[in-house]
Amino acid sequence: MNIKVEKALNKQVEKEASSSQFYLSMASWAENQGLNGTAKFLYTHSDEERFHMLKLVKFINERGGTAIIPNVEAPKKNFKSIENVFQLLLNHELAVTECINQLVDVCLQEKDYTTHNFIQWYVSEQLEEEALARTIMDKINLIGKDKGGLYLFDRDLENASIQIEKTTVN
């Protein structure tokens, strides 16, 4: 496997692993706040990021490279509010999209069209994840300080995570 592509893919393995840990920390925080729907959504999201990481690990190894399983820095444990959680999540996804775009650049520079093709799945996934994070932020902004709204929002997220689980399994 092309060394530069392998290095860039391994960097992405680390990014997905740290995303998974970050969302796991958010999920645990939400659970302790009694926001069970939000927690469920974030636990599912954390699992999804682990799946993104595994998919990269397997691809690197199958193509004759060596996947490197990284040390992951401990994520932030305390969050100011649910708004803070989802703003951080959106910012994080925007940063991940940037990394995926850089990965696409490396593939094109190195003329590795097979990896380029593989990475397109992540390009589409980022579009969906950014859109979902923006929709959630819009809802949070609509709710403002309304406690009843927060209750309904939390319930909605529980349903959203059930939908995500269904699509991830297939």
From 35, 96, 106, 157, residue interacting with ligand FEO (rule: CB under 6 A): 96
The C-alpha atoms of residue 2 and residue 147 are separated, in whole angstroms, by 54
From 6, 93, 112, 154, residue interacting with ligand FEO (rule: CB under 6 A): 93
81 CB neighbour count, 10 Å cutoff: 10
Q: Pick between residue 107 and residue 126 the one whose CB is nearest to ligand FEO.
A: 126
Binding mask 53-92 for ligand FEO (x = CB under 6 A): ----------------------------------------
Q: Pick between residue 129 and residue 154 the one whose CB is nearest to ligand FEO.
A: 129
The contacts of residue 17 (CB under 8 Å, 6+ apart) are 49, 50, 53, 69, 70, 72
The C-alpha atoms of residue 44 and residue 146 are separated, in whole angstroms, by 26
From 1, 5, 14, 19, residue interacting with ligand FEO (rule: CB under 6 A): 19
The contacts of residue 128 (CB under 8 Å, 6+ apart) are none
Binding status of residue 16 toward ligand FEO by CB under 6 A = yes
Contact status, residue 27 vs residue 83, Cβ threshold 8 Å: no
Q: Closest separation between CB of residue 123 and ligand FEO, Å?
A: 11
Q: Which of 15, 142, 28, 128 is nearest to 85 (CA)?
A: 28
Residues touching ligand FEO: how many (CB under 6 A)? Answer: 7
Q: Pick between residue 40 and residue 52 the one whose CB is nearest to ligand FEO.
A: 52
Residue 165 tokens, joined: 């689980």
Q: Pick between residue 6 and residue 49 the one whose CB is nearest to ligand FEO.
A: 49
Binding mask 120-139 for ligand FEO (x = CB under 6 A): ---------x----------
118 exposed, middle or buried (CB, 10 Å; 0-12, 13-18, 19+)?
Answer: middle
Binding status of residue 14 toward ligand FEO by CB under 6 A = no
The residues that touch ligand FEO, with contacts defined as CB under 6 A, are 16, 19, 49, 52, 93, 96, 129
